[in-house]
Structure 1
Amino acid sequence: MSDPSTHERAGVHTRTHAHERTRRGAGRPPAFPFDERDLDRFRELQQLAYRCAERTAAWLEPGVTEREAARRLRRELVAEGVQDFFHVPFAWFGDRTAFRHFRTPLQFFATGRRLTEGMSYVLDCAPVVDGYTADIGYAGKVGDNPIWDRIAEDLLEYRELIVRLVRERRTLNEVYAAVDAKIAEHGYDNRHQVYPGRVIGHQVTRMRAPRLPAGVNLFGFGVRTLQTLGRELVSERLHGRSPLWADGRASRHAPTPGLWAVEPHVGFRDVGLKFEELLVVTEDDAYWLDDDLPHVHRGRALAAAR
């Protein structure tokens, strides 16, 4: 019979080497996976998604329900050639824009809540075309709402803070904490903590020729999305990284080179706003994929008018 202590030493030796491999893998992020043509396709799709959200927003009026708004947004996207979705289109009105009293994931789905004068709203969609994905959030209001105006201006501070800290190679959880601190400084609530996993963002990849059919969803997410997410979760965790951007242990690493959909969501009482757009992270830099977006123009206009 072999000496048990020999097996114990061998086990420690094996675990140590496994830990070293994980640590070294986490220290060497992969190369940036996209070329300029890819970035152009992602940018075009993001612009398409925002155009559809803006057209839906222009159609909204008092009396429209969340379900009607979500259906309208979906029709706009399909009319533009979208055949699949990272997740189904969402619409939130009033205090639901701030996720008040949300307890289960089912509460994110559109309801019969009707839009009224002065109410805030958020439209969220994630179209997929030829494997390219955009994930956007469009915040708006019906009529006057001074609280909404103030938050819309402050959103640009979070946008600038995020890209600056990512350029400094700060870890995902450190950036999350810095955004939280800025939100608290402004007197608002962090509402992205209500999302499943408390995520403020997630990695976006190009989905490649999956065997599963397009247009089929499960719990609001496309089945091809779930297939891709599952594969990315396993692959990234093997290297000590996560494709989900949150505030926990799994996010204690700098953003992996690639594209990240980032969505700071802020609330004050019954008013909630967010933006969501693609952040480009290379091996040595970071920048927003596109500055020609509604929340950027709106925030700058509000700041100039003050």
Structure 2
Amino acid sequence: MSTHAPVRGTRSARVPSFPYDDTDLSRFRELQQLAYACAQRVGDWLGPGVTERQAAARLRRELVAEGVRDFFHIPFAWFGDRTAFRNFRTPLQFFAGGRPLAEGMPYVLDCAPVADGYTADIGYAGKLGDNPVWDRIALDLGEYRELIVREVRARRTLAEVYAAVDALIARHGYDNRHRVYPGRVIGHQVTRTTSRGPAGVNVLGFGVRTLQTLGRELVGERLHGRSPLWADGRSSRHAPTPGLWAVEPHIAFRDVGLKFEELLVVTEDDAYWLDDDLPHVRRLKPGAAR
């Protein structure tokens, strides 16, 4: 668990102050831990012949059993070359399909539960059996995690951090696959949802309350020359706005894709990952099982 506390500097007239207190951060952290725990249980349950739809449905049931009633977006599951988003052409291809899991295949589970307005958005990568390519990429993920927080602390713009991640991907000989996400995003801002739309109702995979909140954020941030979406275009040519950002570098080599997704805390003059006790972080520790 991160031991950092929010660092509050002199407030700039153009930069909003950090909007959360320690209680808020604890609630976000608890929900993120819950999401990862549910994803891990589904990963342990997976076996040959299980389809993406079955895995996504199982992940949703695990979250609902823990009291989750609403979602930023519905759970996703990708198996085999779909972890690398090969031949993805339309947003509909992101939804879980009928691909069955087989020995040696990689998989990615992605879920975004909402509880009492707090949101977590996580990505959990794994493999069924042996996959040396997966092992190699998994060990490199730590470099991306370190790079992102270092660049954000240096107050680089979102687009500049994106470019730094791209450069590291190229040095490793991998492919950038987050560019396939709608809007080419590597991340997005997460806020405490205050919308009063119906909980649990989804439109195109996103919760109604999510869409209401995102709409207000897009308008509000654009009025101040900022964006809640983290990509590589003109709208991302500003430093990350203080708050919480769900960051998801998605990397692939040929037909094997991996990602992590977790919450990054950005204050007026500091940045740190909300929690260091997560599966992909523990995996990097000496002696950890892969």
TM-score, normalization by structure 2: 0.94
Q: How much does 1:211 deviate?
A: 2.7
1:295 alignment counterpart:
280
Contact map agreement 2:283 2:289 (CA 8 A) in 1: no
Q: Secondary structure at 2:282's aligned position in 1?
A: helix
Task: Give CA deviations for 1:231-284 in whole Å, capped at 9, x if unaligned.
Answer: 000000000000000000000000000000000000111100000000000001
* 1:214 and 2:190 matched: no
SS of residue paired to 2:265: strand
Q: Using the aligned pairs only, state the percent identity.
A: 82
Pair 1:286-2:275 in alignment: no
Match of 1:132 among 107, 118, 124: 118
Which has the larger helix fraction?
Answer: 1
State the distance in 1 between where 2:96 and 2:15 align. 38
SS at match of 1:52: helix
Q: Flag the structure with larger Rg.
A: 1
Residue 38 of structure 1, aligned match among 24, 37, 54: 24
Q: Structure 1 CA distance, aligned partners of 2:36 and 2:268?
A: 28
Please list the CA deviations of residues 163-193 of structure 1 after superposition, one character each: whole Å capped at 9, or x if unmatched. Answer: 0000000000000000000001000000000
Q: What residue in structure 2 maps to residue 257 of structure 1? A: 242
- Per the TM alignment, residue 301 of structure 1 is displaced from its structure 2 partner at its CA by 4.0
Query: Is 1:58 the counterpart of 2:44 in the alignment?
Result: yes
Q: Deviations over 1:119-153 (max 9, x none)?
A: 00000000000000000000000000010001001
The Cα of 1:299 is off from its aligned counterpart by 2.4
Shift of 1:300: 2.8
1:28, distance to aligned residue in structure 2 (A): 1.3
Structure 2, unmatched stretches of 5+, are 1-11
**Cα contact 1:153–1:300 (8 A) shared by 2:** no
Choose the corresponding residue for 2:185, options 196, 199, 202: 199
Counterpart amino acid of 1:156?
Answer: G
Matches within 5 A, 1:114-133: 114-133=100-119
User: In the alignment, what sits opposite 2:142?
Assistant: 156
- Give me the whole-angstrom Cα distance separating, in 1, the residues matched to 2:243 and 2:160: 19
CA distance in 2, matches of 1:202, 1:211: 21
Supply the AA of the counterpart residue of 1:85. Answer: F
Structure 2 counterpart of 1:84, one-letter code: D
Q: Deviations over 1:24-55 (max 9, x none)?
A: xx971100000000000000000000000000
> What's 1:80 paired with?
66
Secondary structure, counterpart of 1:152 in structure 2: helix
Gap regions ≥5 residues in structure 1 = 1-25
> TM-score scaled by structure 1?
0.89
2:87 match: 101
**CA separation of 1:27/1:145 partners in 2, compared to 1, >3 Å: closer, same or farther?**
farther
- For residues 203 and 301 of structure 1, the distance between their equivalents in structure 2, rounded to whole angstroms, comes to 32
- Which amino acid in 1 is paired with 2:207? G
Distance change >3 Å, CA 133–CA 305, structure 1 → 2: closer
Secondary structure in 2 matching 1:300: coil
Query: What residue is the counterpart of 1:246 in the other structure?
Result: 231
Taking the aligned partners of 1:213 and 1:243, their CA distance within structure 2 comes to 23
Residue 158 of structure 2 aligns with an amino acid whose one-letter code is L
- The residue number in structure 1 matching 2:258 is 273
